[in-house]
């Protein structure tokens, strides 16, 4: 890493394990599935060198071994219900073609995560909640989720309180986080005749009290968003785009847009490799008196699939105006990720 606050290098890592149970096979309950998972995060945050807000690495998290997702999911005809300790970003505000990118904002969207309490029920801290999804047909759906308003259980963001994922607290001024989404997923009904896409419109709301950028307090914060994933060619090229807008007077980012491309099999003879290019622009609220600017990121990465269970992924990122602060130099981050699946 060069530029930013200072030059340096770091290591961070993640381990994930899960047990999925088919409820029909194990318990004789039709349409039931269960999951219990654990997460281990370790290493040093690149943010101490870059000085950014949007987070260079999507596995950058407070160190520790923690209980992760624990849920039961059941279908009742066209209605699907999931209840337990949930990750809202797994089911809302997605960008499927952004999944290969390493920068965190291409997964968990900044127009929600940066403006709600402690990033919401998402990586790396799920929250107690329930999600309802109604499938009108194979492509069209509507879904709604309501979750614990503060998965850290501390308004100041002290990650040690729920470090191991076993501290559950509701109420006590935390409020509730809710998300709403309607969508059309053409990938589910792809017949090969046209290039499919996945289109979503949604909203989020947090019910607790928020500090305003002018120094007061107001009840609740929320925003709206749209997201598109679109296959561009049948030989592996796809694109994504998302735009979210939040309350200007109480949000860190008034609006954020991210977009990019994903190409599977770009290099001849390497059909499983993935090349991805992404761009994000986060516009800070103009009501913030200390920062009236933006943070922008460009990322290029290539995932070399060495075997079905091993990949190597070189990555390069350029961060313009980290934290929107013109006094901090633009940062260049070069990294290498190795992944192993067992």
For residue 169, pLDDT over 90 is answered with: no
How far apart CA 267 and CA 300 sit, in angstroms, is: 15
Task: Work out the pLDDT band at 290, boundaries 50, 70, 90.
Answer: confident
* pLDDT for the residue numbered 289: 73
Contact (Cβ atoms closer than 8 angstroms) between residue 296 and residue 262: no
Task: Work out the pLDDT band at 222, boundaries 50, 70, 90.
Answer: very high
Residue 310, Cβ neighbours under 10 Å: how many?
12
Q: Average pLDDT of 175-192?
A: 96
Share of the chain above pLDDT 90, in %: 87
Where residue 212 sits, what CATH number does that domain have?
A: 2.40.160.180
* pLDDT for the residue numbered 72: 98
Task: Work out the pLDDT band at 171, boundaries 50, 70, 90.
Answer: confident
Residue-range definition of the domain harbouring residue 71: 2-340
Q: Tell the burial category of 278 from Cβ atoms under 10 Å away from its Cβ (0-12, 13-18, 19+).
A: buried
- Omega within 30 of 0 (cis) for the link into 28: no
Q: How many domains does the chain have?
A: 1
Residue-wise pLDDT for 100-140, tens only, equals: 999 999 998 999 999 999 999 999 999 999 999 999 999 99
List Cα–Cα distances, 102 to 59, 256, 296, 308, in angstroms: 8, 18, 15, 20
Q: Which of 157, 159, 165 is nearest to 62 (CA)?
A: 159
For residue 173, pLDDT over 90 is answered with: no
DSSP code, position 119: G
Contact (Cβ atoms closer than 8 angstroms) between residue 97 and residue 261: yes
CA angle 14, 338, 335 (to 5 degrees): 95
* pLDDT for the residue numbered 69: 97
Tell me the average pLDDT of the chain: 94
For residue 174, pLDDT over 90 is answered with: no
Task: Work out the pLDDT band at 12, boundaries 50, 70, 90.
Answer: very high
Which one is predicted more confidently, 173 or 57? Answer: 57
How far apart CA 335 and CA 101 sit, in angstroms, is: 12
> Token pair for residue 129?
């909640």
The region that residue 31 occupies, defined by phi over 0 for left and psi between -120 and 50 for alpha, beta otherwise, is: left
How far apart CA 190 and CA 182 sit, in angstroms, is: 19
How far apart CA 147 and CA 164 sit, in angstroms, is: 19
How far apart CA 255 and CA 260 sit, in angstroms, is: 17
> Token pair for residue 213?
């950028």
For residue 172, pLDDT over 80 is answered with: no
For residue 263, pLDDT over 80 is answered with: yes
Contact (Cβ atoms closer than 8 angstroms) between residue 128 and residue 170: yes
For residue 291, pLDDT over 80 is answered with: no
The region that residue 2 occupies, defined by phi over 0 for left and psi between -120 and 50 for alpha, beta otherwise, is: beta
CA angle 330, 256, 250 (to 5 degrees): 105
How far apart CA 285 and CA 248 sit, in angstroms, is: 5
Residue with tokens 């989404």: 181
* pLDDT for the residue numbered 274: 98
Residue-wise pLDDT for 15-71, tens only, equals: 999 999 999 999 999 999 999 999 999 999 998 999 999 999 999 999 999 999 999
Contact (Cβ atoms closer than 8 angstroms) between residue 105 and residue 115: no
* pLDDT for the residue numbered 157: 87
> Token pair for residue 249?
């007077």
Residue 70, Cβ neighbours under 10 Å: how many?
16
**Local structure of 26: helix, strand or coil:** helix
For residue 292, pLDDT over 90 is answered with: no
Q: Which of 317, 308, 297 is nearest to 340 (CA)?
A: 308
Task: Work out the pLDDT band at 315, boundaries 50, 70, 90.
Answer: very high
Residue with tokens 């994000």: 280
How far apart CA 294 and CA 90 sit, in angstroms, is: 27
Q: Which of 134, 130, 135 is nearest to 145 (CA)?
A: 130
């Amino acid at each position: 890493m060069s530029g930013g606050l200072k030059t340096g290098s770091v290591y961070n890592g993640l381990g994930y394990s899960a047990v999925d149970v088919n409820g029909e096979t194990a318990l004789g309950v039709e349409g039931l599935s269960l999951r219990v998972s654990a997460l281990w995060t370790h290493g040093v945050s690149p943010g101490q060198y870059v000085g950014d807000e949007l987070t260079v690495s999507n596995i950058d998290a407070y160190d520790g071994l923690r209980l992760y997702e624990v849920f039961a999911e059941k279908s009742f005809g066209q209605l699907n219900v999931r209840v337990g300790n949930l990750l809202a970003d797994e089911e809302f505000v997605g960008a499927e073609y952004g999944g290969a990118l390493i920068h965190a904002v291409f997964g968990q969207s900044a127009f929600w995560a940066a403006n709600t309490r402690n990033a919401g029920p998402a990586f790396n801290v799920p929250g107690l909640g329930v999600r309802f999804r109604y499938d009108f047909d194979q492509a069209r759906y509507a879904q709604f989720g309501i979750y614990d308003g503060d998965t850290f259980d501390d308004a100041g963001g002290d990650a040690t309180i729920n470090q191991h994922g076993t501290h559950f607290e509701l109420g006590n001024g935390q409020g509730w986080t809710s998300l709403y989404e309607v969508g059309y997923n053409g990938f589910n009904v792809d017949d090969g005749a046209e290039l499919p896409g996945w289109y979503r419109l949604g909203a989020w709301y947090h019910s607790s009290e928020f500090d305003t950028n002018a120094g007061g307090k107001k009840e609740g914060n929320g925003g709206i968003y749209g997201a598109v994933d679109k296959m561009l060619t049948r030989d592996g090229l796809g694109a994504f785009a998302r735009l979210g807008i939040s309350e200007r007077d109480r949000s860190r980012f008034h609006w954020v847009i991210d977009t990019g491309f994903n190409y599977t099999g770009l290099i001849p003879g390497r059909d499983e490799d993935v090349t991805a290019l992404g761009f994000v622009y986060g516009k800070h609220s103009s009501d913030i008196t200390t920062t009236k600017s933006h943070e922008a990121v460009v990322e290029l990465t290539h995932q070399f699939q060495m075997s079905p269970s091993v990949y190597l992924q070189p990555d390069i990122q350029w961060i313009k105006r980290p934290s929107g602060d013109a006094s901090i130099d633009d940062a260049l981050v070069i990294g290498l990720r190795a992944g192993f699946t067992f």
